[in-house]
Amino acid sequence: MAKIRRDKIWRWRCQWSVVTLAAIALVVYNAVANMWLLSPQPCSVRTTPPPSELPTCEPCVDTAAVMAVDDDPIARLDLRLGRWDSSRSYRMFDYATVGDMYAEASANHRVCLATQSSIERLHELLRVAAHWTGPISVAVFVAGDELRLLRAFATWLFRCQPEVYARLALHAATPVDRPGIQGNMPNWAKNCEAAPLPPGERRADTVAWRARHPYPQNHLRNLARRNCHTPYVFLVDVDIVPSRGMGEALDNFLATAPKCPLCAYVVPTYELDKRVAHFPANKSELLRLSRNKLAIPFHRKVFIYNQYASNFSRWESSGGNETLDTHISHNVTNFELLYEPFYVAPDTVPAHDERFLGYGFTRNTQVYEMFLIGYQFKVLSPIFTIHWGLQARRTRPLWREKQNEKNRKHFETFKRELYARYRRDPLHLLRRPQQAKKT
């Protein structure tokens, strides 16, 4: 009996031990399995060293925002890669910076405003852009430390005038004798409360260099023109301000005007007395200022032939009582050799001759070649442009007259070249003699 009981107890203990060992084995198995499943997979072999910092989404967004706010595209300009002019005296940099809407604005408009400026006059661009809502192509001449001021102005526009910057293409030209220097931007570049390009920013040695070297305005005109992408170009100097809404008015006019490959549409230009506080709202107001001697045709006092052929008397004869739609007032029938209007035309017109440096014979020689080819100049109304300030001959510096005399000699060579090219000399057809003195 006792032996039977001992055998039962031994069998029970064996069975319980087996169950216990099985349970323990199952627990251990589950634990090992869980540890294996939860452990990271081994990394694959890398052929290149891993980056020091792995990117995450949030820092990428923040960095992009900071880069957009502090965008300074001209700082990335490689000053070794500008294209040379024909004399290898200047480097040209197309699209030193360009707004993100410039291409779209060019596709949606028929006319691009092209202009050129030195750094000390570049602030005038704000007046132009306030009245012109289409694409604007600007060529700027910078020497030495002036490049940092151009960078600062572009940055200020990007931050403070984004609607202007968006439709702007800015190009630069630098002289080989004094190439641009990046330098540090002034504080006003990121201060929208400050006026851009205050006087006295340029170094004294740069100012002295500029005084000794002529301003290559024809290089800049060609640079600005060639970087327009609209069917027509309106080429003006940076201190010539268009009347309000001119871009849209020209678009509407050109949409319905008969096709004329050899037509140039002249926009009348007036000088406005600085005592006039506001830009004339329309042609009627401009004519009222003209009657009160507060507005006069451009260059009338310093050089009357500059705009004489436009026949301002005929343009003013309407008294402003005419349609508001842009239309042709009259044709230019008394072309002058020294005529240099501001006009709208396709960029198939002749380029500006870059041998003419400084002042004198820079624009009128190009218009002269157009006339020789057979272009017809047609004066538009009621649109107009304004130069702020009445000019006087006595305010012209002596160095300007010296540049004019030098360019007069170039003109004799230029005239012979045109005669050989076109086998025509329109000088015999002109009412006024060639010897008219240009100042």
Q: Could you read off the pLDDT of 273-313 as tens digits, one per residue? A: 999 999 999 999 999 999 999 999 999 998 888 999 999 99
Write the pLDDT tens digit of every residue in 329-354: 999 999 988 999 999 999 999 999 99
Answer yes or no: are the C-beta atoms of 349 and 391 closer than 8 Å: no
pLDDT reading at 45 higher than 50: no
Residue type, 217: Q
Determine the Cα–Cα distance for residues 432 and 284; give it in Å rounded to an integer: 32
Question: Does 163 lie in the same domain as 81?
Answer: yes
Question: Does 232 lie in the same domain as 126?
Answer: yes
Lowest pLDDT segment from 55-59, 360-364, 367-371, 398-402: 55-59
Question: Does 384 lie in the same domain as 302?
Answer: yes
Determine the Cα–Cα distance for residues 205 and 219; give it in Å rounded to an integer: 23
pLDDT reading at 36 higher than 90: no
Query: What per-residue confidence (pLDDT) applies to 402?
Result: 86
Question: Does 270 lie in the same domain as 326?
Answer: yes
Question: Does 254 lie in the same domain as 230?
Answer: no
Q: Is residue 62 part of a domain?
A: no
Domain boundary among 191, 222, 238: 238
Total domain count for the chain?
2
Q: Is residue 47 part of a domain?
A: no
Question: Does 350 lie in the same domain as 321?
Answer: yes
Question: Does 201 lie in the same domain as 288?
Answer: no
Question: Does 222 lie in the same domain as 155?
Answer: yes
Query: What per-residue confidence (pLDDT) applies to 426?
Result: 53
Q: Is residue 361 part of a domain?
A: yes
Q: Is residue 33 part of a domain?
A: no
Write the pLDDT tens digit of every residue in 179-228: 999 888 899 999 999 999 999 999 999 999 999 999 999 999 999 999 99
Asked whether the bond before 258 is cis by omega within 30 degrees of 0, the reply is no
Report the range out of 62-66, 77-81, 241-245 with the highest average pLDDT: 241-245
Domain boundary among 189, 207, 238: 238
Q: H/E element holding 410?
A: helix 398-422
Tokens in use for 182?
A: 């990046």
Q: Is residue 376 part of a domain?
A: yes
Query: What per-residue confidence (pLDDT) applies to 370?
Result: 96
Query: What per-residue confidence (pLDDT) applies to 63?
Result: 38
Determine the Cα–Cα distance for residues 67 and 326; give it in Å rounded to an integer: 44
Answer yes or no: are the C-beta atoms of 217 and 139 closer than 8 Å: no
3-class SS at 252?
Answer: helix
| Of 193 and 59, more confident | 193
pLDDT reading at 30 higher than 70: no
Domain residues for the domain of 387 are 241-439
pTM of the model: 0.81
Query: What per-residue confidence (pLDDT) applies to 438?
Result: 44
Domain boundary among 238, 253, 278: 238
Question: Does 359 lie in the same domain as 229?
Answer: no
Query: What per-residue confidence (pLDDT) applies to 246?
Result: 98
Question: Does 413 lie in the same domain as 271?
Answer: yes
Q: Is residue 323 part of a domain?
A: yes
Determine the Cα–Cα distance for residues 338 and 341; give it in Å rounded to an integer: 10
Query: What per-residue confidence (pLDDT) applies to 46?
Result: 40
Question: Does 385 lie in the same domain as 281?
Answer: yes
Query: What per-residue confidence (pLDDT) applies to 432?
Result: 45
Question: Does 258 lie in the same domain as 228?
Answer: no
pLDDT reading at 37 higher than 50: no
Query: What per-residue confidence (pLDDT) applies to 400?
Result: 80
Q: Is residue 28 part of a domain?
A: no
Q: Is residue 327 part of a domain?
A: yes
Determine the Cα–Cα distance for residues 361 and 369; give it in Å rounded to an integer: 12
Determine the Cα–Cα distance for residues 351 and 215; give it in Å rounded to an integer: 17
